[in-house]
Structure 1
Amino acid sequence: MKREFAVIGLGRFGGSICQELSREGMEVLAIDNDEDKVNEFKNIASHAVIADSTDEASLKELGIKNIDHVIVAIGDNIQASILTTVILTDLGIKKITVKAQNDYHEKILNRIGANTVVHPERDMGKRIAHSIISNNILDYLELSDDHSIVEVKAGKRMVGKSVVELDIRANYGCNVVAIKQGKQINVSPGPTDVLYEGDILIVVGADKDISRFEKHLVIDD
């Protein structure tokens, strides 16, 4: 069975989630109080409706209780975001993901029942900052407040050396969980595996350790 999702708020963030879920073949109910935005997604989402998400009766009428996962992507209206989350929690929605505007907003969302809180602007800022430090840093994903996963291209200091020679875990406190070599992915690489130019490492660790790893091994002079 296809999983069913609802996306409330069809701005840039909510709209991109709606498009991607629909592209993956999921059933998506797109909700916004702006008629133009709803019309924009009528041919993208399974259903696109104009509704006020702070009105419990409207959400019930839409059958929101039957949705597996609701994403609250309301833009600048923090009050509407919080009230919508409260209503969804009261209705017993199993999985609620909410976009937060700031840390204070996140604290409130966590207390009122949001399962996952995301900071798209902050997280994207971190990813861009890391990518502009070096062309070798391809992606950066925050796992928690102080742990992340980073995708890096093998720097000059790494090429031709084995995993055991670099000893990234002992020297930097990070774990290499996979190495991409062309189209192949080597999960849990062994100590004798040698890195070649163009290889991509997936590294996980504490932010402070990843920072040291990037400065000493990833960023080429």
Structure 2
Amino acid sequence: MSTLKLGIADDHELFRKGFISMLSGIPDFEFILEAGNGQELLDRLPANTPDIVFMDLQMPVMDGIQATEAAFERFPNIKIIVVSMYNEDRFVIHMLEKGVQGYLLKDTSPDEVEKAIRRVHEEGFYYNDFVSKAMHRKMVNRQVNKHPFFPNACNVALSSREKEVLQLICDGLSTTEIGDKLFISVRTVEGHRLRVLEKTGTKSTAAAVAFAYKNQLLN
């Protein structure tokens, strides 16, 4: 059994220690890094680079948004799950656009945190019902914008199957579950996902989903 290396950046030591303790009993989870702010995280990443980092948003010295941008730039393979008390849609959408692989609230259950870790490790993303609803509300409430966030949005044409796969990703289904639902192979699902990334010019599934909702490519 391979070990998943984890890290956490949060300025509240009590939460940080409790979070680590909560997951320490899972045999294949190992916390190799903890930091009290974004700058401390970046300083420690070169020596100890986790597979997945849990990132708080509001921290002194350097906040989670800045730290996320810098971490992705310096360590392209790292995966980040936001763990925050902020439940406003604007924070969720903004961080998805930054490329984070998941967004959890601080009252999330231990079982869901474990599920998020495994899904991010295996699939590259985790969207729970809270995130999916935030993205849907963003789409519904979005006013027509003559200058979309992505300049080439008007040139993006997803096939009906690509939209279907992307919608099921938004609904929280795994690659295997999508394949079963659509009666196609896992390899075919992955092929559709990669073509969506290529067409949207995004680097992660999270960013592709944010793109699709922002530009009303999904129903």
Query: Which structure shows the higher strand fraction?
Result: 1
TM over 0.5: no
TM-score (norm 2): 0.41
- Which one has the largest radius of gyration? 1
